[in-house]
């Protein structure tokens, strides 16, 4: 793996949602390596223990908290636990998400609502609760608030069978821009990362199928991205280096949307 620039996160407290697997697990590990104390949040807390153990064994600081991003009370409780352990969360990675593939003609309304509750409502609740606490802790003077939202190239690229997922990701991109504008004088930066297709728990089985292999073959570089290709952008947006960047949406897709 190529060397990446070093962004010092010493003294920062980061909360990562959806940290029980995939990108969330990777993000939590990378932020801890950068020096941040990390709060790994997910509904499946049993799956967080191994990552927390690995971070602490490497000399980092991390805890696991239960958090259902679609539930306001659960979100508030997770932030309470984070503050009790490390103090105010100043670096928020709203990463939790889910997918429901298939024709819109056959998609149950309940399933559509579930995707929206996690991918859109969940980001709203996560970002809002974090922003409220940052502002109360003096972010306007400190200029230390960082919110990073995981969106997707499907926010602007049309792929069949992803009506609910794509709509939710397009929604968080626009919502993130509005939140950035709302909080621009509060010392809080809000930015979005739009990854291309990366093999994770959500889509891993698909890319093992013949149809999934054909999809990879249609990408300009005929390959799928590795999770570590998002590391540098995450660290940049979480650090003081990105002080002048807010309301931006970054596509990192290895050219998949070209």
Spatial CB neighbours of 80, under 8 Å, sequence gap ≥ 6:
none
* Banded pLDDT at 204 (limits 50, 70, 90): low
Token match 């972010």: residue?
Answer: 139
Above 70 in pLDDT, residue 149? yes
Exactly one of 79, 165, 197, 236 is catalytic; name it: 165
Domain 13-252: CATH superfamily, name plus number: NAD(P)-binding Rossmann-like Domain (3.40.50.720)
Q: Is 79 a catalytic residue?
A: no
Domain ranges in the chain are: 13-252
CB neighbour burial string for 222-241, b if at least 16 within 10 angstroms, e if fewer:
eebbebebbbbbbbbbbbee
Q: What is the pLDDT of residues 186-199, one digit of tens each?
A: 999 999 999 999 88
Above 50 in pLDDT, residue 28? yes
Above 60 in pLDDT, residue 5? no
Token match 């909080």: residue?
Answer: 183
Of the two residues 226 and 75, the one the predictor is more confident about is 75
When the pLDDT of each residue in the chain is averaged and rounded to a whole number, the result is 94
* Rounded Cα–Cα distance for residues 204 and 202 (Å): 6
Residue 101, phi-psi category: left (phi > 0), alpha (psi -120 to 50), beta (remainder):
beta
- Phi, psi (deg, nearest 5) at residue 24: -60, -45
User: Taken in order 112, 113, 116, 122, is the CA torsion positive or negative?
Assistant: negative
Task: Tell me the whole-structure pTM to 2 decimals.
Answer: 0.94
Above 60 in pLDDT, residue 7? yes
Above 70 in pLDDT, residue 202? no
Q: State the average pLDDT over residues 225-248.
A: 96
Three-class SS string for the chain?
Answer: CCCCCCCCCCCCEEEEECCCCHHHHHHHHHHHHCCCEEEEEECCHHHCHHHHHHHHHCCCEEEEEECCCCCHHHHHHHHHHHHHHHCCCCEEEECCCCCCCCCCCCCCHHHHHHHHHHHHHHHHHHHHHHHHHHHHCCHHHHCCEEEEEECCHHHCCCCCCCHHHHHHHHHHHHHHHHHHHHCCCCCEEEEEEEECCECCCCCCCHHHCHHHHHHHHHCCCCCCECHHHHHHHHHHHHCHHHCCCCCCEEEECCCCCC
pLDDT of the residue at 203: 64
């Amino acid at each position: 793996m190529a060397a990446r620039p070093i962004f010092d996160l010493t003294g920062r407290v980061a909360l990562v949602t959806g940290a029980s697997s995939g990108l969330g697990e990777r993000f939590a590990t990378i932020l801890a390596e950068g020096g941040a104390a990390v709060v790994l949040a997910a509904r499946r807390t049993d799956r967080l223990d191994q990552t927390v153990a690995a971070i602490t064994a490497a000399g980092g600081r991390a805890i696991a908290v239960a958090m259902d991003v679609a539930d306001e009370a659960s979100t508030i409780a997770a932030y309470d636990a984070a503050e009790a352990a490390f103090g105010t969360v100043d670096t928020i990675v709203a990463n939790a998400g889910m997918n429901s593939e298939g024709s819109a003609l056959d998609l149950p309304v309940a399933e559509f609502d579930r995707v929206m509750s996690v991918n859109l409502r969940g980001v709203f609740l996560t970002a809002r609760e974090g922003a409220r606490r940052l502002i109360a802790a003096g972010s306007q003077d400190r200029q230390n608030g960082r919110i990073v939202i995981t969106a997707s190239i499907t926010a602007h690229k049309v792929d069949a069978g992803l009506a609910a997922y794509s709509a939710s990701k397009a929604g968080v991109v626009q919502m993130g821009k509005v939140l950035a504008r709302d909080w621009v004088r509060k010392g809080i930066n809000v930015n979005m990362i739009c990854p291309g297709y990366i093999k994770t728990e959500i889509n891993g089985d698909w890319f093992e199928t013949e149809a999934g292999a054909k999809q990879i073959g249609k990408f300009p570089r005929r390959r799928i991205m590795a999770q570590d290709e998002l590391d540098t952008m995450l660290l940049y947006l979480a650090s003081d280096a990105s002080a002048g960047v807010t309301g931006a949406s970054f596509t990192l897709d290895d050219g998949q949307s070209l």
